[in-house]
Homo-oligomer: A and B are copies of this chain.
Amino acid sequence: MTPGDMDFPTPHPAGDCRMVREILDLVGDKWSLYIIASLKDGPVRFNELRRRIEGISQRMLTITLRGLERDGLVKRTLFPTIPPRVDYELTDVGRSLLEPVMALTLWANANQLNIQHARAIYDAG
């Protein structure tokens, strides 16, 4: 580490953007938000979750759930019965994420036509 470059509190003016990117690294993948949304009304079992989220593969459901569990957004409960049963549910932290996501949803609602229009114009030109 060269002494001259010791501290770089904010390498660029984008400041806060750093943390937003961390969230996007958290739930910005293809399936996380679908899972969170699908869990908003209470615990759901693995295969039921799989049925609810159309198009997700078994592998991606497992992997994504593991990530959400690791980040403390989803809680996994194993019932050691035969056959085994596993419930997934949102933690308080996970549920609190629904709020800012809702803000994004509102923005999407308000602007999706603008965006479609802009694209149509751009693609025409």
Contact = CB atoms under 8 A, between A and B. Distances in A.
A110 B117 CA distance: 36
Contacts of A106: 100
Leading 5 A-B pairs by shortest Cβ distance = A72-B118, A19-B108, A14-B37, A100-B103, A17-B37
Contacts of A20: 33, 101, 104-105, 108
Contacts of A53: 12, 14
Interface string A85-116: 00000000100110111111111111110110
Range class of the A interface residue count:
35 or more
- For this chain, the copies found in one complex come to 2
B96 A111 contact: yes
A23 B93 contact: no
Majority secondary structure of chain A interface residues (helix, strand, loop or mixed): helix
A46 interface: no
Contacts of A97: 107, 111
A34 to B, nearest CB: 5
Most B C-beta atoms less than 10 A away, residue of A30, A107, A118, A119? A107
A111 B28 CA distance: 16
A70 B13 contact: no
Given A34-B17, A71-B119, A118-B71, A112 B22 contact: yes
